[in-house]
Chain A
């Protein structure tokens, strides 16, 4: 696919863009609709009986593995919780059964069960204070208006914090990034190490680059929330721990704001580390 297919609502997707071979049913992602042909055009005509129409503006993408098509629309809109998303939430207050947390500032609080932590029982529940950070998974979003969103830090089936790292985030710092950047970072961090591409995954080389440069100071931990938050911790760094944390945050937010290409990302990492006088 040389030029990307950019669609506006109401545009029909040309059939040549659709994955044709698979016998499996085509999965429609967000932004696409299957509109049956209106009754006026007679079924005798040779046109296909179904037309896919865009309902949002964005790039048309296909996923050959899942035989799915979807539209990537404006990446920087407000985060709307979707089941199974990983988010970084901040505890606002607690009630006997729940912690009430903030995921996006504009939206109502979400709830996180006091016992929805690994190994938590009535006796050993975590004592989270106001302002504490939690890395959690969206358990349910409810239906209809006024529904509550619920988070969890364990897999209800196993009682373990799956995937690893869910739970209270201690130390470190949180930086705000755009939602689009959060998605890219998640893909980049989950894929890093597995395959070495020239341009990195999702156009991001910053994490690999930082990882290499900060190896000497003990590396760093990172958690990315879909809600546009990234948590960074360098607690092994000793003297430079705070400096390194801030440097990573600066790298990520600058790349996000200026849409830097991989080469510029490498330059930026070196420059910021130099400016902050971090030994590499």
Chain B
């Protein structure tokens, strides 16, 4: 299957930026990060020893509404826990993440954002890396759908997602923790455990269970997402420091 593609720092003026395309879900996201920035004094931003993380999601065709507020909350929950907001220069300042949906399916009112969520999360992460915001670790995320027969589909298209019985978004940290789980639709716990195992294989390339089927899982899912993130960053570093690397 065709894996996602990403590039770092496409925007010149922002502190950090990233663009991310996922062909299977059809999403195309452009993200920027500005950090650290001065925030105007606000009642809810007064954490004396920590940075305030703000996330804005801009849909492609409509003004942002309640669905965006919700997905912004999810993204803030994930990255807010990874940003080291107590590093020097970040306390009492803001980390502002803006994610614009520039292509792909539109999300209408009341629809879940789950098919777009991994792409949004990856864009946010890459933009944070590009802005050199200190992080405790990185993560990778994927969305899986389960149809009525129990078949798991990786990164379903919008139609597949609408026909699915349940949808699951999982994010794993680079150290193997389950950072985020968003599941909706009817399912039982055994299904979820299968989903978790498959998602872990997609993100890390190794299944948690027996070692025997590792190779098979990898070939079915291509490169693990973690590797894609790492390669994107390495490419950019090679470009930025070609003079140094070539000289060495």
Contacts and interface: CB of A to CB of B under 8 A. Distances in A.
Contacts of A261: 242-243, 246
B136 A55 contact: yes
Given A56-B135, A144-B91, A8 B239 contact: no
Interface residues of A, number: 36
A77 B131 contact: yes
B175 interface: yes
Contact of B241 (A9, A10, A75): A75
A2 B134 CA distance: 27
A73 B240 CA distance: 9
Contacts of B216: none
Interface in A145-161: 145-146
B84 A55 contact: yes
A72 interface: yes
B51 to A, nearest CB: 10
Interface in A1-34: 1-2, 4, 6, 8-11, 31, 33
Interface string B212-241: 000000000000000001100110110111
A9 B12 CA distance: 23
A1 B136 contact: no
B16 to A, nearest CB: 6
Nearest to A61: B244
Contacts of A76: 9, 12, 240
Interface residues on B, range: 35 or more
Contacts of A80: 36, 89
Interface of A is mostly: loop
A203 interface: yes
Contacts of B131: 74, 77
B135 A10 contact: yes
A259 interface: yes
Contacts of A259: 239, 242-243
A240 interface: no
Given A76-B9, A144-B91, A10 B240 contact: no
B77 to A, nearest CB: 18
